[in-house]
Amino acid sequence: MRILLWHGYLLGGTGSNVYTRALAREWSNAGHEVVVFCQERHPERYDIGSATLVRPEIGTLLPVFVLDRYEGLEARLLQDLSRAELERYVELNVAELRRHLPADLVFANHVLPGGAIAAATGAPFAVKAHGSELEYSMRGRRELEEWGRHSLERAGAVFVGSAHIRRALAEVVGPLDRVYEVPPGVDVEAFAPRERGEALSALVAEARRDPANPGGADERLPDEGNADRFNAFFSEPRPTVVYLGKLLENKGVHLLLEALRELEAKAIVVGFGDYRRELERLAGARVLFTGALEHRHLVDLLPLADVAVVPSTFPEAFGMVAAEAAASGVPPLVARHSGLAEIAAGLEREYPNGLRELASFASGDVADLRAKLEALLSLSEADREALGRAARRAAVSNWSWSTVAERLLEPFTI
């Protein structure tokens, strides 16, 4: 198939960015002709297989759901833009897509603006609802809800990553036909258990190859000096807890830091965002902040952890980080709500009797988070290894990228 894969943002740093580059890699490696449309200015940093990358000329205005900084662009919340501004953004993207038609499929990320862009091309199209557009920008705003519903009416398929997002989609845009539930995926070959000494050596070597980032001027790059900090951090023998994700208040990182205060454990916090300075103020001496890291780091960082915590207090479409940790043989501990609850359920199906409650904690409950962390970190070596193997089985059977990529094309190939 010839597939035009539209994504309005970058290829690293957030779940939908990772999703896009993974699909490009899997589809192109499977023999499909893939053209990726996004605003990534450094595609050489990422593996997108044999896909071609096109950066549409959109001027300077970029509609977003969460405010971040983008090189050369002015990011503004989707709901704060006028209809004229949004329509101009759509038209500029549609013009670029049409230059690459014909295609068997236009696959667009996000109900808005992606669904509106895909629908306007006139080609067969599918839309992936990620959740952020629904919850942060569209919900409760009638004009955007109606625009989203109209955009999806002619879609050959609308994909959601979880039952939670299926419900959210129906609540925001109304009932739709041809909605398919396909969870995001994990590269289960890249994310795999590793011997700790080997993983640390590889992580430090990878950090030494990081680009210069004096003073953390570019929040999307790793902090400078991480290689030496990793060596020092992992030389201390305490159990290690890891958080990976945006540093926003509704991601719940402050709850994790509070839970850790009474535990004999250390933590590593990976990510970027406006809440970082406050989190650093709240953190104790045994917490290491790294800035943004990429998969090239994470495949070696995760096997060095004992637990990966996803403490988000806001609805999540899925839980990519938890699935990547599970593939690495690291038990995830997730807040039990929205798409994260479905991750917990997948883990529990594989976990041994008596340990299933350690997949999740009550959302926002620091005491429960602390208790579950303490239980996980106190497991015998045999139980810890059994839990890691079970987490890996759950990831391979439920969330591998190769399976996900195939399922996304099924409505158009059967």
- The DSSP-derived string for 230-259 is HHHHHHS-S-EEEEES---GGGTHHHHHHH
What's phi and psi for 241, nearest 5 deg? -110, 140
For residue 96, what are the contacts with CB-CB under 8 A and spacing of at least 6? Answer: 37, 54, 56, 57
142 pLDDT band, cuts 50/70/90, is very high
Across 385-411, average pLDDT: 94
Note the pLDDT of residue 317.
82
Longest Cα–Cα distance in the chain = 61
Tokens at residue 252, please?
């719940």
Across 392-405, average pLDDT: 92
pLDDT tens profile 293-339: 999 999 999 999 999 999 999 988 888 899 999 999 999 999 999 99
Number of helices (H), then strands (E), in the chain: 16, 15
160 pLDDT band, cuts 50/70/90, is very high
Q: What percent of the chain has pLDDT over 90?
A: 93
Note the pLDDT of residue 414.
66
Distance CA 269, CA 248 (A): 12
Asked if 55 and 35 touch (Cβ cutoff 8 Å), the reply is: no
- 414 vs 306, residue with greater confidence: 306
Q: What percent of the chain has pLDDT over 70?
A: 100
Enumerate the domain spans of the chain: 2-181, 196-399
Distance of CA 272 to the CA centre of its chain: 13
| Domain covering 196-399 in this structure, CATH number | 3.40.50.2000
Across 104-133, average pLDDT: 97
- Peptide bond before residue 184 is cis, with ω within 30 degrees of 0: no
Alpha helices in 114-195, H assignment, sequence order: 116-120, 132, 142-152, 163-173
| Domain covering 2-181 in this structure, CATH number | 3.40.50.2000
For residue 93, what are the contacts with CB-CB under 8 A and spacing of at least 6? Answer: 6, 8, 37, 56, 58, 113, 117
Distance CA 155, CA 108 (A): 10
Judged against a pLDDT cut of 90, whether residue 374 lies above it is answered with: yes
Across 104-124, average pLDDT: 98
Note the pLDDT of residue 15.
87
Judged against a pLDDT cut of 90, whether residue 267 lies above it is answered with: yes
Note the pLDDT of residue 213.
96
Tokens at residue 368, please?
């429960």
Q: What single string gives the DSSP state of each residue in 324-344?
A: HHHHTT--EEEESSHHHHHHH
- Give the number of other CB atoms < 10 A from CB of residue 228: 12
- The identity of residue 28, as a single letter, is S
Tokens at residue 82, please?
């006028």
Across 245-255, average pLDDT: 96
Tokens at residue 272, please?
């970027």
Note the pLDDT of residue 14.
85
pLDDT tens profile 12-28: 888 899 999 999 999 99
Task: State the chain's mean pLDDT as an integer.
Answer: 96
pTM: 0.78
Domains 2-181 and 196-399 equal at CATH topology level: yes
Asked if 135 and 168 touch (Cβ cutoff 8 Å), the reply is: yes
Judged against a pLDDT cut of 80, whether residue 186 lies above it is answered with: yes
Q: Quick one: angle between helices 320-327 and 15-29, nearest 10?
A: 60
Distance CA 229, CA 26 (A): 34
